[in-house]
Amino acid sequence: MRMLHFGLRVTDIERSLAFYAALGYAEVGRVPETSFGSLTMLQLPDDPFISLELVHDPARPVEDIGAVNHLVVQVDDLEATIADLAAKGVTAEPLAELGPGMRTSWLTDPDGYRIELVQWPPGHPAGMTAADFA
């Protein structure tokens, strides 16, 4: 068993697509009409799978983001990512060092969802594991 993707409700699909495209996501496909609204599937360039689904229904704008604490995206070079985002008009918070080689920065998407960018130390697995808590 594994998690497939996360469905995130958005108010303005075009504004959200522009934001997530600046972050590096590519649109893979759409499901135009569901009981939730339209679904837009997004994938990061180095990920073989879709990881984010934008859910849009004009009759149901985002009014409360309190149930979602934050999303996390791993990057290879945090300084370069922050510079690239700035060139695309997306402001990231200053980076923070959390330990040897572990760096983070935060973004806020158009609906107010918080996104943490993480750069792992050299040699760290691509994701978080139980070893991170030993």
Query: What pLDDT, on the 0 to 100 scale, is given for residue 65?
Result: 92
User: Residue 85 pLDDT more than 80?
Assistant: yes
* Residue 70: exposure state from Cβ atoms within 10 A (0-12, 13-18, ≥19): exposed
Residue 93 covered by a domain: yes
Reported pTM: 0.91
Residue 46 covered by a domain: yes
Domain range holding 32? Answer: 6-58+68-124
Structure tokens at 32: 């135009």
**In this predicted model, what pLDDT tens digit does every residue of 31-74 receive, in sequence order?**
998 999 999 999 999 899 999 999 999 999 999 999 999 999 99
The SS3 call for residue 38 is strand
CB 99 within 8 A of CB 9: no
- Split into its structural domains, the chain has a count of 1
Residue 83 covered by a domain: yes
Identify the residue whose tokens are 């996104």. 115
User: Residue 87 pLDDT more than 80?
Assistant: yes
92: CATH: 3.10.180.10
Angle at 104 between CA 103 and CA 106, to 5 degrees: 165
Please tell me the distance from the alpha carbon of residue 89 to that of residue 78, in angstroms, as a whole number.
16
Residue 110 covered by a domain: yes
Residue 133 covered by a domain: no
- Tell me the CA distances in angstroms from 30 to 34, 38, 72, one per residue in order: 11, 7, 23
Residue 19 covered by a domain: yes
Query: What pLDDT, on the 0 to 100 scale, is given for residue 116?
Result: 96
**In this predicted model, what pLDDT tens digit does every residue of 93-118 receive, in sequence order?**
999 998 888 999 999 999 999 999 99
Query: At residue 132, what is the residue type?
Result: D
